[in-house]
């Protein structure tokens, strides 16, 4: 039992969106200096509840108490003034400003009317050293990896003296190696008296980092547990309302003779010069999943972008069904049956203001069933979108809901539904289950295997070895832009692959 005083509490919070009841009588308590996990399916209402606490949304009814006093934040500014900080599921930094500029934005320390940049910079540096949140205060946001951008978001909250920190899926954007460091930071903050709410879909993370856990299901609190007394299986069941298979069942499958997709001696330039990929050759056969293992930043992004025609190649060939596609644009590649699930769903995957239906038709909007006589056939688009909403269990009122109104995980499901339903002969999936709940992961993994069993070739890029081992028939390790090793999962171990990923090996 936690004997610390309750610092923040919600009582019977209800949030009704025009067509969705996102929160229904949600009552939770956060104690001083604890790490509280919030777990729940995609669309269960986690982000909504946190956005209400942070003053971004107003509840339809219900109350919030901070230090025992009823509060009603009408904006994040008010929440921040009262000691709340939040790091959102999708970051909100200004890309072309520096780290320090971003951190002080909105709360510039005054020196008359000019901003004392030097003082702010010093403070940022102090905070970053105290909590081992190392980042260069003068870097531009656009030049930082997501892991570093997250540090900036946390520093921003600390700079504003947050005593309650809300973190919406902080680990979804981190590499497994970064997660440990992040947990150390979270524990240090807790020891300094900061209370933390952390949303995650990973049951082992709930076990590793939290003191207590609330489980939300379809807008309601399905339970609260002391973390030390609950098992992963029980958490999964509470969350989904049924038992979840936490391991994938993969049956042997004979792959096709001729590769469906090949890279021959591919070299690609990185963002800031230098070779991001060097002399990469690989082939994907019909009916196999080829897994690319590697630590983030070893060429995965460039590999995916080159395959989709979003980045030009410096040397080498890209071949699909025996034909050269190196010079073709993205649209032409899609038309030939190359599919892609990108790792950044907002940048390359979806057009947020457009509807689910439009997002699903995208790229093939001039073809049947989406178009008739050169104009979009909306009824046909909607009915195929509707079928996919059912099949992929996308939690949305209907096909005309805008993508931006979906929860993060459901946005991801829209992309997967679109790409899988097009039955590509070759599918590139980059971090396909990032941000998905355990039930959705179970389903997506089985769909990927179903594609393989229907003789599509799948190239899986994932930072998670567990996912690679569950799905891949062969594993290639990408290190510093080169393929350094090929392994068979049945003759290898996560530990061995991990060694090659770090540039080691026997
Ligand atoms: N601005 C909005 N307008 C309309 N509906 C919304 C809006 N924001 C969220 N919703 C809906 O409210 C429900 C809860 O969404 P929320 O983002 O809180 O889920 P979540 O638990 O954070 O899910 P995930 O794990 O996928 O991030 C979803 O059905 C979502 O579509
Ligand atoms: Mg969310």
Task: Tell me which H or E stretch contains 442.
Answer: helix 438-453
Residue whose token pair is 């995916």: 304
**Whole-number pLDDT of residue 419:** 93
Measuring from atom 31 of ligand 1, which residue has the nearest CA?
A: 406
pLDDT at 89 over 80: no
Residue 136, CA atoms < 13 Å, CB-side half-sphere: 10
Residue whose token pair is 């907002």: 346
Question: What's the mean pLDDT in 303-313?
Answer: 94
Range scoring the smallest mean pLDDT among 98-112, 153-167, 401-415, 428-442:
98-112
Is 127:158 a contact under the CB 8 Å cutoff? Answer: yes
Q: 412-437 pLDDT, tens per residue?
A: 999 999 999 999 999 999 999 988 89
Same topology between domain 6-240 and domain 261-353+409-501:
yes
Alpha carbon of 396 to ligand 1 centroid (Å): 9
Instruction: Decide whether any atom of ligand 1 lies within 6 Å of the 410 Cβ.
Output: yes
* Sequence ranges of the domains in the chain: 6-240, 261-353+409-501
Measuring from atom 18 of ligand 1, which residue has the nearest CA?
A: 45
pLDDT at 108 over 90: no
pLDDT at 368 over 70: no
CA distance 503 to 484: 8
Question: What's the mean pLDDT in 139-158?
Answer: 88
Ligand nearest to the CA of 56: 1
Q: Give the fold, CATH level 3, of 261-353+409-501.
A: Rossmann fold (3.40.50)
Q: Across the chain, what does the average pLDDT equal?
A: 90
Q: 10-31 pLDDT, tens per residue?
A: 999 999 999 899 999 999 999 9
Q: How many CB atoms lie within 10 A of CB 499?
A: 15
CA distance 169 to 147: 12
Per cent of the chain over pLDDT 90 is: 68
Task: Tell me which H or E stretch contains 300.
Answer: helix 300-308
Ligand 1 atom nearest to 49, measured from its CA: 18
pLDDT at 317 over 90: yes
Give the CATH class of 6-240. Answer: alpha beta
pLDDT at 112 over 60: no
pTM over 0.85? The answer is yes
Range scoring the smallest mean pLDDT among 275-279, 282-286, 368-372, 451-455:
368-372
- Which of 170, 224, 165 has the alpha carbon at shortest distance from 202? 170
- Which of 451, 93, 481, 503 has the alpha carbon at shortest distance from 287? 451
**Whole-number pLDDT of residue 113:** 44
**Whole-number pLDDT of residue 369:** 64
């Amino acid at each position: 039992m936690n004997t610390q005083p309750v610092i923040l509490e919600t009582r019977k919070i209800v949030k009704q969106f025009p067509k969705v009841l996102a929160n229904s009588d949600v009552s939770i308590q956060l104690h001083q200096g604890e790490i509280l996990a919030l777990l729940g399916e995609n669309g269960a209402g986690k982000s909504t509840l946190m956005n209400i606490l942070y003053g971004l949304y107003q509840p339809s009814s219900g109350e919030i108490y901070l230090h025992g006093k009823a509060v009603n934040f009408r904006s994040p500014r008010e929440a921040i003034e009262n000691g709340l900080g939040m790091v959102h599921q999708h970051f909100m930094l200004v890309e072309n400003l520096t780290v320090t500029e971003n951190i002080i934005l909105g709360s510039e320390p005054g020196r008359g009317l000019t901003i004392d940049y030097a003082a702010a910079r010093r403070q940022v540096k102090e905070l970053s050293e105290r909590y081992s949140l190392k980042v260069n205060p003068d870097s531009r946001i656009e030049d930082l990896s997501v892991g570093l951008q997250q540090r900036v978001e946390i520093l921003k909250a600390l700079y504003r003296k947050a005593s309650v920190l809300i973190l919406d899926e902080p680990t979804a954007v981190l590499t497994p190696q970064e997660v440990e460091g992040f947990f150390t930071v979270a524990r240090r903050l807790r020891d300094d008296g900061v209370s933390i709410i952390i949303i995650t879909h990973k049951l082992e993370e709930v076990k590793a980092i939290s003191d207590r856990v609330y489980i939300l299901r379809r807008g309601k609190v399905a339970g609260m547990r002391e973390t030390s007394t609950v098992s992963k299986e029980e958490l999964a069941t509470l969350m989904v309302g049924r038992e979840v298979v936490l391991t994938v069942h993969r049956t042997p499958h004979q792959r096709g003779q001729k590769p469906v997709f090949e890279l021959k001696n591919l070299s690609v330039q990185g963002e800031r010069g230098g070779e991001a990929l060097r002399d990469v050759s690989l082939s994907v056969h019909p009916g196999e999943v080829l897994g690319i293992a590697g630590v983030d930043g070893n060429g995965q992004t460039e590999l995916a972008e080159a395959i989709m025609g979003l980045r030009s190649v410096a040397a080498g060939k890209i071949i699909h069904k025996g034909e050269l596609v190196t010079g073709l644009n993205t649209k032409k590649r899609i038309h030939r049956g190359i599919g892609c699930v990108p790792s950044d769903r907002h940048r390359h995957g979806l057009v947020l203001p457009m509807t689910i239906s439009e997002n699903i038709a995208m790229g093939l909007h001039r073809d049947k069933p989406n178009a008739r006589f050169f104009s979009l056939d909306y009824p046909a688009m909607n009915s195929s979108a509707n079928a996919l909403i059912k099949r992929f269990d996308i939690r949305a009122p209907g096909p005309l809901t805008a993508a931006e109104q979906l929860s993060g995980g459901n946005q991801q499901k829209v992309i997967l539904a679109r790409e899988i339903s097009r039955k590509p002969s070759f599918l590139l999936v980059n971090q396909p289950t990032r941000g998905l709940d355990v039930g959705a992961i179970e389903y997506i993994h089985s769909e990927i295997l179903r594609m393989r069993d229907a003789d599509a070739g799948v190239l899986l890029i994932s930072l998670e070895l567990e996912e690679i081992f569950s799905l891949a028939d062969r594993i290639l390790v990408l290190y510093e832009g080169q393929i350094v090793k090929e392994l068979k999962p049945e003759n290898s171990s996560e530990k061995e692959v991990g060694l090659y990923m770090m540039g080691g090996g026997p």
